[in-house]
């Protein structure tokens, strides 16, 4: 007679495997919700090269950019539209057409991230990538980007989510939405909800009154007169980015009054500052 099958060890083994899977899932969810350890995408810039390393899967990433050159630099991620080749994208990025109207980038792709990088310092920005073909660009200086590197973002089985920001600033046609007071050390999301390319800069000024004077000058096209009111270098929250672009960063700017602006232009060449894209904001401790 055949001995009865003892299924208890099998059940124990299956239960142990199930618990292990649950623990791994819980750990992954906790990591994603806390945002303490996002996958890292590294962009290393020099005056003649840009290299990409780290995570190239879809989902949230912590983009860490470094620059070892001596000039100004900006790390840019450009996602190609489906079916567009790298050669086609590069041709448009070098064209006079783009120099006249940056919004023509939509013909071949989208600017999904633009982060300012200073020599010898690391820039750290969070964003979320979707599967596709990308160009990493060094957009520092005048004229079109001259240095680039291509890479592919593949679909992750379980894309990591961005941590929930403590505040969100939205660019629209034509203005800024969101809190006008930000706090040093808080995580803030900057999102372009407009259909045009927008940027998000902030100029430090001495007082709320000075901010009002700068705003009046910008609205009337007298931007050359604001130099005496600006007290330091501008803070770049978000460089020129396309519709839907989102990047999150921790506020590190010095507390005080600022004028938040977008200096991009419409397809007709009208500066966004003439259309209402400036406002006074305050950064506190």
CB 160 within 8 A of CB 60: yes
Its CATH architecture, for the domain 40-153, is Sandwich (2.60)
Residue 21 pLDDT: 38
Residues paired with residue 149 on neighbouring β-strands, in sequence order: 136
Residue linked to tokens 């004229």: 143
Q: How far apart are CA 55 and CA 71, in angstroms?
A: 27
Residue 72 pLDDT: 81
90 sits in the region (left: phi over 0; alpha: psi -120 to 50; else beta) called: alpha
Residue 10 pLDDT: 36
How wide is the angle at C-alpha 188 spanned by C-alphas 24 and 241, nearest 5°? 100
Residues in Cβ contact with 17 at an 8 Å cutoff, skipping those fewer than 6 apart: none
Residue 93 pLDDT: 86
Residues in Cβ contact with 236 at an 8 Å cutoff, skipping those fewer than 6 apart: 115, 116, 199, 200, 201
Domain boundary assignment for the chain: 40-153, 167-284
| Residue 167: closest CA among 158, 155, 176 | 176
Residue linked to tokens 């200073």: 118
Residue 148 pLDDT: 87
Q: How far apart are CA 157 and CA 186, in angstroms?
A: 30
Residue 99 pLDDT: 85
Hey, what CATH topology would domain 167-284 get? Immunoglobulin-like (2.60.40)
In the Cβ-directed half-sphere of 253, how many Cα atoms lie within 13 Å?
A: 28
pTM for the full model? 0.84
Residue 207 pLDDT: 97
Residues paired with residue 223 on neighbouring β-strands, in sequence order: none
CB 171 within 8 A of CB 279: no
Residue 44 pLDDT: 95
Output the tens digit of pLDDT for each of the chain's 285 residues. 434 434 334 333 433 344 333 333 343 444 333 344 899 999 999 988 899 999 999 999 999 999 998 888 999 999 999 999 999 998 998 888 888 899 999 999 999 999 999 998 899 999 999 999 999 999 876 767 777 899 999 999 999 999 999 999 999 999 999 999 999 999 999 999 999 999 999 999 999 999 999 999 999 999 889 999 999 999 999 999 999 999 999 999 999 999 999 999 998 999 999 999 999 999 999
CATH topology of 40-153 equal to that of 167-284? yes
Q: How buried is 260 (Cβ within 10 angstroms: 0-12 exposed, 13-18 middle, 19+ buried)? A: buried
CB 258 within 8 A of CB 235: yes
């Amino acid at each position: 007679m055949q001995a009865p099958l003892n299924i208890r060890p099998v059940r124990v083994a299956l239960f142990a495997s199930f618990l292990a899977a649950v623990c791994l899932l819980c750990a992954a969810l906790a990591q994603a919700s806390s945002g303490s350890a996002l996958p890292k995408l590294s962009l290393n810039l020099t005056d003649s090269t840009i290299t990409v390393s780290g995570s190239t899967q879809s989902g949230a990433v912590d983009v860490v950019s470094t620059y070892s050159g001596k000039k100004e630099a900006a790390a840019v991620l450009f996602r190609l539209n489906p079916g567009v080749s790298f050669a086609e994208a590069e041709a448009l990025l070098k064209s006079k057409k783009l120099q006249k109207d940056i919004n023509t980038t939509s013909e071949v792709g989208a600017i999904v991230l633009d982060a300012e990088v200073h020599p010898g310092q690391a820039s750290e920005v969070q964003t979320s990538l979707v599967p596709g073909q990308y160009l990493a660009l060094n957009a520092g200086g005048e004229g079109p980007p001259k240095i680039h590197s291509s890479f592919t973002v593949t679909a992750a089985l379980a894309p990591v989510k961005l941590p929930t920001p403590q505040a969100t600033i939205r660019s629209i046609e034509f203005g800024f939405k969101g809190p006008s007071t930000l706090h040093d050390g808080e995580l803030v999301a900057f999102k372009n909800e407009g259909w045009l390319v927008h940027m998000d800069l902030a100029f430090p000024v001495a007082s709320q009154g000075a901010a009002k004077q700068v705003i009046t000058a910008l609205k009337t096209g007298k931007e050359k007169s604001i130099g005496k009111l600006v007290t330091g270098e501008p803070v770049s929250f978000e460089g020129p980015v396309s519709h839907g672009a989102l990047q999150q960063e921790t506020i590190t700017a010095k507390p005080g009054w600022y004028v938040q602006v977008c200096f991009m232009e419409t397809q007709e060449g009208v500066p966004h500052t003439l259309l209402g894209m400036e406002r006074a904001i305050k950064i506190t401790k």
